[in-house]
Structure 1
Amino acid sequence: MQSLNDKIRQLAKTLGKEAPEGPVKDYSTLRQEYEKQANKEIQQMQLEAKKQRIEQIHGRSDLNPAWTFANLIEDTADVKEAVSIAKSFIAAHGDPSWRRSGSHMMLFYGDYGRGKSHIAGAIAHELIDKYEISVLYRQLSSLLEMRYFSYDFNAKDDAGQRFREITQELMTVDLLILDEVCVNESQLKKSAQGWLGTLLRQRYSQNKNCILITNHDLTSLGQAVGPYCFESIKEYDTYKVRFSGPSRRRNVEDDIPATTKTSGYIPNQVR
């Protein structure tokens, strides 16, 4: 009596086909192999889809790509402490109950050039890569300018529509980074105070997180944003991080040799 393998080879010979080498695999074995291959392809598709989602989030975030922990020099105590707090904040996102527990705010304050924006950006990059957290980075001054121009009803550049669209995004994005909060401002206008306070309260009610970056100390920040807005900040579970180390920005120095410097004005010479 012919075996199944013999019958298959005989059939292949009759049809003029090349008979398969070795024993023919049974249905169960073939099914397992096909399922394994299908699962591998599905996992690859999922990885590609995740990569695309992460790239899209990075693209919409408006973050500086150089703001990473790898590019950060931890040379002072305040930066080391800030990085430690930042990494704890990132790790907490791995706990779903923490993410649902309420709204969290990191408040970075200190003088110019201390690394506040860099560390905030590094936090954002890691949250995007690890947890696909949507992020939006904006300078408060630019938002207030957009808000001001949105009231020009004679304008033909759709400023009002664009501001309404970005306001919606400001309220719904998972992590909002507001930089230069009240920069060069001892106090915001009342309307701006109300707008910012309302934005923060709406985000708080939706369990959305924020990072605020300012050059003010906490006392002068309260005066600058006004009591209504400052009370909105207090509603959050707040992590206050003070930056007090030296500036990391390059000094702007005169390249003229000391021997040729003069206190008087010398006009450009035509040669």
Structure 2
Amino acid sequence: MIKILYTFLLFAILAGCSGLEDSEKKKIRKMNAIGEHIYRSHNEYIFPIGKSVRRERENYPWEHAYVGNFHRITEDCFRCRGSQQNAFITQHSNGQETHTFDCGGMDQHSLPFKEGKEFIYSALIDLLNYIQEKTQKKVIVTCGHRCPKHNTYSDTSKFNRTSKHMIGAEVDFYVRGLEWSPETVVQLIKDYYREQPRFRSDENFTHFHRYEKDTNVSTLPWYNKEIFVKLFKKDEGRDFDNNHRYPFISIQLKWDRDQKEPVTYSWSQAFNGYLRY
């Protein structure tokens, strides 16, 4: 018991000495402190402070990745859907048997290249994101870019030989939840041009005509200066990429809004305008 008491007293003495030392340090610091007067007028500022202005918070980078509750449509959604795992197609013509093979898809080639980088016409991406935002439903891209090899493998019809899919100027899609109401989506496409400030005062874009010449669809297509829109019914336009059971919409680009020039198919652009890996 006496030993415990001595230990406690020793601890108290040491703690008291430590506190006294801290107190002395504070006194010395206070004695050595030097104050300086500020020689300036009350309205004189060395570093002027600007007036506070309220502004909206900018989105974080990951917030730009979404439109509504869904991932934003980007160039990646347009990548070629070819695969070397697909079986070859056998055809007979004039007694000759030929085999058509598919490409290797995104693993073996890029999107179309323009100015040193992968490229899809921005008008198509803007339209799809507008539809997704307005409907709050997911846009399903069934066919974006097709390399020439996959284009032939997917569809050998005459309407497809100069497809703008090969130059990144055409897209096929449907909207999940509106699969059986494609006319609603066509109306949204028209609304897009009537709402956009750069187009809404120009009848070349806001007014849509009907195309009455020969096509591969039963519904007369719509077109304005920039785009040509086809509606494929559930028994129309079936190919390797569009082998689902829903109607779908195809948008072809006619006018390049950035370069202000027509968009036309060219063999050189289709066959030489992308990288092979």
Bin the TM-score by the shorter chain.
under 0.3
TM-score, reference length from structure 1 = 0.23
Structure whose CA Rg is larger: 2
Structure having the larger proportion of residues in strand = 2
TM-score, reference length from structure 2 = 0.23
Greater RCO structure (CA 8 Å; 6+ sep): 1
Structure having the larger proportion of residues in helix = 1
